[in-house]
Amino acid sequence: QVQLAESGGGLVQPGGSLRLSCARSGSIFSITAMGWYRQAPGKHRELVAAISGSGGSAYYADSVKGRFTISRENDKNTMYLQMTGLKPEDTAVYYCAATRGAGLTPYIRDYDYWGQGTQVTVSS
C-alpha cells in the first residue's frame, strides 16, 4: 500500500512564496508519475502540475504556468511544488497524488493514491 503525506502549507501575503513537499512511503515497486491537485470551496478539484517518474517531463495548468515549479528527488521519495507570485485565487487545499505508471498524465482518473491535503491561504 502506497502512502502520501503533504507538508508546507500555510498563510502568505499576495506575491509571497511557499514550497510544498510530498513524502511517499509504503510498498513501492517502481517510481511512478505524480501530481499536485487543488480544491477551493465550492469548486472542482483541478490539476495544478504533474511530473513523470523520471522527472524528465512536466505539465502545468495555464493558471500557474511561469509561477509554479514541480520537481522530485527520487532518492528521497519526495516531490515538491515551489510556488511564487502567489495570488488570492491560489487559495485552496493542495493534494499530492500518484499513478500506477511512470508516464506523465493530466487525467484525474489515472491517479490512484492521494494524500490528506495541506491548506494554502493567500490573503493580505
pLDDT at residue 17 in the model: 98
| Residue in 95, 111, 114 with CA at minimum distance from that of residue 40 | 95
pLDDT at residue 42 in the model: 93
pLDDT at residue 10 in the model: 97
pLDDT at residue 99 in the model: 93
Residue 65 near residue 76 (C-beta atoms within 8 A): no
Which regions of the chain are under pLDDT 70?
28-29
Tens digit of each residue's pLDDT (9 = 90 or more) over 59-76: 999 999 999 999 999 889
